[in-house]
Amino acid sequence: MRKRKLGSSDLEVSAIGLGCMGMSFSYGPPKDVKEMTSLLHAAVERGVTFFDTAEVYGPYTNEELVGEALAPFRGQVVIATKFGFDLDPKFDPRRMKDSPPALNSRPEHIKQVAEGSLKRLKVDVIDLLYQHRVDPNVPIEDVAGAVKDLIQQGKVKHFGLSEAGVQTIRRAHAVQPVAALQSEYSLWTRTPEKEVIPTLEELGIGFVPYSPLGKGFLTGKMDENAKFDGSDFRNILPRFAPEARKANLALVDLLSRIAGRKQATPAQIALAWLLAQKPWLVPIPGTTKLHRLEENNGAAAVELTPDDLQEIETAASKIAVQGARYPEHLEKMTGR
């Protein structure tokens, strides 16, 4: 697996990372801990060095899984985690889709969360600590200042933001350099291209696209008739309504056409397209299956020519993606 640097920071990671959320949270019931531990070990063995988790995934159980599984590989891997929610110990994750916990990025709370994450991840220092969602009640300068304190104390190495707008990014970066922004980006969610990506390029900030396979849709393995478990987050996403899925299959058809020519899969083309956008961009597809992990990693070896990229661009520009990516109460937490 090739390596990439996230922006102008010294944070070097595998060109494709691994999003760990679905192992414990959001996409149906939590998966077997032993199986997921084996999968995390397999990822390291195959050259993945960048792993993404958050305290809210579970809550807490995903950090515990990742921390325990990756304990033998300290110093070889980079683990990113996130703060930003007010987690009541009694919080039921099944309520997340209807009423997520309140945002909380008060400096004292950030420092409490970091201590908890350090213990659950079994590390002395957090490689990359993101603000999970921008808290409108706390000036971003205070947030950046709190993480700066943690960096100076040797508890955190790098500061990140997630789903932040360009003014927030600039204001945070002026207080504590931002190493990476994590936001949704793929062939069916291209919002960051207009303002965010040029800002990241200007400031030397890396980009970590989450849901680079459109929460599984761009793999070509689901159509309008696909059914999800009752606890699956996708049940409430407008873009996953049956009629929207049917319309959006045009994107999958495009990926399949290129994939057939390249002896690749639609998922590999979707990831290769992302990798071709910027050299400081590192997607973090999530999976709970070894064969999907290997398929995703294989995207790093797929070369898309300028002609291929132009063909994808021309065809994609004629496809109007149907359905919002989040319901309104979650959408309003992005782009602040």
Question: Where in the sequence numbering do the catalytic residues fall?
Answer: 57
Token duo for residue 334 = 């992005």
User: Is 6 within 8 Å of 179 (Cβ atoms)?
Assistant: yes
Beta strands in the chain (DSSP E): 3-5, 12-14, 18-19, 50-52, 78-83, 126-131, 156-162, 178-184, 206-210
The token pair at 157 is 């190495």
| DSSP helix/strand/coil, 78 | strand
Look up residue 33 and give its two tokens: 């801990």
Question: How far is residue 181 from each of residues 56, 143, 234, 265, 299, measured CA to CA in Å?
Answer: 18, 15, 23, 27, 22
Task: State the Cα torsion 179-181-186-192 to the nearest 10°.
Answer: -120
Asked whether 286 and 21 are in contact (CB, 8 A), the reply is yes
User: What are residue 19's DSSP bridge partners?
Assistant: 52, 286
**Structure tokens of 200?**
């990241």
CB 59 within 8 A of CB 26: no
Number of neighbours of residue 82 by Cβ within 10 angstroms: 24
Q: How many CB atoms lie within 10 A of CB 151?
A: 18
Structure token pair of residue 303: 């070369």
* 174-202 b/e (C-beta count within 10 Å ≥ 16 → b): ebbbbbbbbbbbbbbbeebeeebbebbee
